[in-house]
């Protein structure tokens, strides 16, 4: 029996993770990467409501009514005043209540942003990433409320149902499924047919680009690990991780629920799913809650929670901005994305306006 087969058999039937607490160590660079986007989602959400109105403006009263739905961190008026290079208040005529619109600079950025979203290249790339999101763990459908939670980090246009899905009837359809959490029937997005060409993970692509053979591409893949210099794993944890990395790599697009859920092999498959999911996001990060929601749809919610804690060299959990954000470490160098998606490029321009004095 080959070494990999022996390892597969051994780690699929026993749980070897040591009974040691993997400590959390702050990473200032990744904290900065999260912090610099503070309120960005709120700014763009309010911007989208403004440009969606027929007059391209909202009354202060109507804008204030959005505070709860947009989860604004302060009153809408204070929010508008805080970001005066994005939003502008004006009075249409004497006696009428003031309204809010976008500044000339923000409106120009919005038009550029829409050009990015609507370009055939980006639209096709986004549709393929969305299809892969549905295909993870061998599934083919996902409740729409889960997609809504991931919409921002996926870089989907705010009106993606009409501006994206409508262009790809051969990719997507809407169906009704039973929600795994509540048991109620909910709307879901379904993949019309399985796309084998898309079922290749980012890690597999990376190995293939190095011209390894097919068997090596399939099995001998270790996850890139990046630990801050101040971080030191306990020796027994380090030994476990090194052994765990040698286990066969199972594609996150395969259904591997036949594995013993408490085995190390099952955990490597779980980490592969999390790694691929974060790789599909334009920001390479998302709130921990979003990952758990997604994991629960797969029946992997508790496994996701454990994997995120066990592998600090792969995933970083940032505790800034009143939430926990999971960051894919390898996607960043210092506080910057290694590969910047065009949607992220536009978002950084919004940040520039937000921080302008």
pLDDT tens digits, 8-33: 444 455 656 665 567 788 999 999 99
pLDDT tens digits, 73-98: 999 999 999 999 999 999 988 888 89
Query: Helix 342-355 vs helix 40-52: angle between axes, to the nearest 10 degrees?
Result: 100
Band (pLDDT 50/70/90 cuts) for residue 199 is very high
Rounded to 5 degrees, what are φ and ψ at 165?
-60, -35
pLDDT tens digits, 27-80: 999 999 999 999 999 999 999 999 999 999 999 999 999 999 999 999 999 999
For tokens 């009428």, the residue is: 96
Question: What CA–CA distance (Å, rounded) separates 282 from 342?
Answer: 9
For tokens 């499924």, the residue is: 177
pTM of the model: 0.92
CB 241 within 8 A of CB 231: no
- Using alpha carbons, list the distances in angstroms from residue 129 to 51, 156, 354: 27, 10, 29
Structure tokens at 163: 């501006």
CB count in 10 Å sphere of residue 18: 14
Between strands 325-328 and 315-318, the pairing is: antiparallel
Rounded to 5 degrees, what are φ and ψ at 344?
-65, -35
CATH of domain 40-112: 1.10.10.10
Q: Is residue 159 helix, strand or coil?
A: coil
Q: Work out the average pLDDT over 235-254.
A: 91
- pLDDT at position 125: 97
pLDDT tens digits, 250-299: 999 999 999 999 999 999 999 999 999 999 999 999 999 999 999 999 99
Q: Is residue 315 helix, strand or coil?
A: strand
């Amino acid at each position: 029996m080959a070494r990999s087969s022996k390892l597969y058999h051994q780690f699929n039937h026993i749980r070897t993770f040591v009974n040691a607490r993997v400590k959390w160590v702050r990473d200032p660079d990744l904290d900065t990467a999260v912090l610099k986007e503070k309120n960005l989602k709120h700014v763009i959400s309010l911007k989208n409501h403004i440009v969606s109105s027929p007059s391209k403006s909202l009354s202060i009263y109507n804008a204030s009514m959005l505070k709860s739905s947009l989860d604004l961190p302060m009153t809408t008026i204070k929010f508008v005043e805080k970001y005066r290079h994005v939003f502008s208040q004006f009075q249409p005529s004497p006696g009428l209540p003031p309204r809010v619109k976008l500044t000339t600079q923000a409106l120009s950025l919005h038009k550029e942003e829409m050009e990015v979203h609507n370009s055939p290249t980006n639209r096709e790339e986004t549709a393929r990433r969305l299809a892969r999101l549905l295909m993870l763990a061998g599934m083919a459908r996902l409740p729409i409320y889960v997609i809504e939670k991931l919409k921002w980090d996926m870089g989907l246009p705010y009106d993606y149902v009409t501006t994206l899905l409508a262009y790809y009837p051969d990719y997507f359809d809407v169906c009704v499924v039973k929600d795994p959490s509540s048991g109620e029937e909910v709307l879901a997005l379904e993949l019309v047919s399985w796309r084998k060409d898309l079922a290749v993970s980012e890690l597999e692509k990376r190995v293939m680009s190095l011209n390894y053979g097919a068997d090596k591409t399939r099995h001998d893949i270790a996850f890139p690990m990046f630990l801050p210099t101040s971080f030191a794993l306990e020796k027994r944890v380090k030994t476990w991780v090194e052994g765990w990395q040698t286990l066969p790599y199972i594609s996150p697009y395969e259904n591997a629920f036949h594995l013993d859920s408490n085995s190390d092999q099952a955990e490597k498959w779980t980490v592969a799913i999390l790694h691929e999911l974060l790789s599909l996001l334009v920001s390479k990060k998302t709130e921990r809650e979003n990952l758990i929601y997604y994991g629960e749809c797969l029946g992997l919610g508790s496994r996701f929670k454990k994997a995120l804690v066990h592998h600090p060299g792969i995933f970083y959990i940032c505790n800034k901005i009143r939430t926990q954000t999971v960051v894919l470490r390898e996607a960043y160098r210092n506080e910057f994305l290694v590969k910047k998606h065009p949607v992220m490029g536009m978002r950084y321009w919004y940040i520039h306006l937000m921080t302008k004095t």
